[in-house]
Amino acid sequence: MSTVLVVDDSAVDRRLVGGMLAKVSGVDVDFAADGKEALRKVQTSPPALVITDLVMPEMNGLELVSAIVEQYPQVPVILMTGKGSEDIAVRALQAGAASYVPKTALHHLLVETVTDVLAMTRDLFSRQRLMEGLKTGRFSFLLTNDADMIPTLISYVQSIVISIGLCDEADVIRVCIALEEALRNAMFHGNLEITSEQREGDAEAYAALLAHRTTSEPWQSRRLHVQLTISKRSGTFTVRDEGPGFDPTKLPDPTDPANLEKVSGRGLLLMRTFMDEVRFNTSGNQVTMVKTNPVAVEGAAA
């Protein structure tokens, strides 16, 4: 049985929603009268789904969404919104709510929405279980200079690294910081040939330059080549751009007191700090970073 936690300060509305959910097979319904009580119940025993009212004393629905998304990202939240709270519904979705249902349309939409969200969650769990069996991942991406793909790729790599167990949670973050720096470096400095000074200068001028470079030759046709090999023992992350390359030895040391106020070089510094090995090809348009799992290496040696 999947437990659905209904959060509403109105006992009448709790009963109304509980009655509707009773029609959904395989669902148990639990109740809380405000966000704080709901969070306590989620902490004690995470439900399969939370359905919450928006306006409540103590902790409101939006705050509850944020708290659950941050602390229990595996628990989806559906918001019930009153008339005139569409803006807040949008904010809730941006904060990570799975869906929302207007209170005026509960009879039409609630059961269907709950069924859909529970099915999606079950599918997600199944995929997570499948990923637990993944031992080695080899990936090759060919990307355009669309910066919106960077966080998406980082998020994907993060899930792969966690599934395979290359490193602990803090080290996963370090790997992701280094990879993000490599991707941004390749896209902006490599393919688009935008300098740190241009990127950190006048924001409007930067936006215009970016728009021009992403739609003009030779910059727009350049691609980003990303190759990843991730196992429990080590991860190798190679990023190549099609720009003119650079000489990494000529970058100023950003930790030199004379350079601390400058805007360049810190990305490479973070890559070198958070990966075990960082090497460039001779033309400087390809970086290979290696992260080793010391626990797996020691285990293999023993």
Partner 1 sequence: MSEGKHVRLEQEGDTLIVTPLFTFSRFTEGDLVGEWNRILNRIDSDEIKHVVVDLGHIPYFGSTLLDWMVQMWKRAQGKGGTLAVCSASQVGREVLGVAKFDTLWGIYGSRQEAKESLLNA
**180: contact with partner 1 by CB under 8 A:** yes
Return the residue of 28, 86, 112, 200 that touches partner 1, per CB under 8 A: 200
Contact pattern from residue 64 through residue 93 relative to partner 1, giving x for each residue in contact according to CB under 8 A and a dash for the rest: --x--xx-----------------------
Separation in Å, CA 266 to CA 62, 99, 221, 254:
37, 39, 27, 6
**254: contact with partner 1 by CB under 8 A:** yes
**132: contact with partner 1 by CB under 8 A:** no
Retrieve residue 225's tokens. 């080549």
Cα 180 to chain centroid distance, Å, stands at: 12
Q: Among 45, 107, 113, 122, which residue's Cα sits nearest to residue 79?
A: 113
Nearer to partner 1, 80 or 179 (CB): 179
Retrieve residue 236's tokens. 């190798």
Ramachandran quadrant class, 58 (left: phi over 0; alpha: psi -120 to 50; beta: rest): left
Any idea of the CA torsion for 239, 207, 90, 6, to the nearest 10 degrees? Answer: 30
Return the residue of 35, 47, 190, 267 that touches partner 1, per CB under 8 A: 267
Q: Are 285 and 225 in contact (CB under 8 A)?
A: no
How many amino acids of this chain bind partner 1 (CB under 8 A)? Answer: 36
DSSP string, 118-179: HHHHHHHHHHHHHHTT--EEEEEEEE-S-TTHHHHHHHHHHHHHHHHT-S-HHHHHHHHHHH
Per CB under 8 A, contacts with partner 1 among 219-248 are none
Retrieve residue 245's tokens. 């390359």
Residue 293 is given by DSSP the state -
**181: contact with partner 1 by CB under 8 A:** yes
Q: Which residue has the tokens 């720009």?
A: 243
Contact pattern from residue 90 through residue 129 relative to partner 1, giving x for each residue in contact according to CB under 8 A and a dash for the rest: ----x-----------------------------------
Distance of closest approach, residue 202 Cβ to partner 1, in angstroms: 9
Q: Among 156, 219, 157, 155, which residue's Cα sits nearest to residue 186?
A: 219
Nearer to partner 1, 22 or 260 (CB): 260
Nearer to partner 1, 85 or 113 (CB): 85
Pairwise CA distance, residues 170 & 188, whole Å: 27
**170: contact with partner 1 by CB under 8 A:** yes
Nearer to partner 1, 144 or 231 (CB): 144
Return the residue of 203, 258, 301, 302 that touches partner 1, per CB under 8 A: 203
Contact pattern from residue 4 through residue 43 relative to partner 1, giving x for each residue in contact according to CB under 8 A and a dash for the rest: ----------------------------------------
Residue 264: count other Cβ atoms within 10 Å of its Cβ.
Answer: 16
Return the residue of 26, 84, 133, 148 that touches partner 1, per CB under 8 A: 148
Distance of closest approach, residue 302 Cβ to partner 1, in angstroms: 29
Q: Which residues bind partner 1 (CB under 8 A)?
A: 66, 69-70, 94, 147-148, 151, 154, 170, 173-174, 176-177, 180-181, 184, 196, 199-200, 203-204, 206-207, 210, 254-255, 257, 260-263, 266-267, 269-270, 273
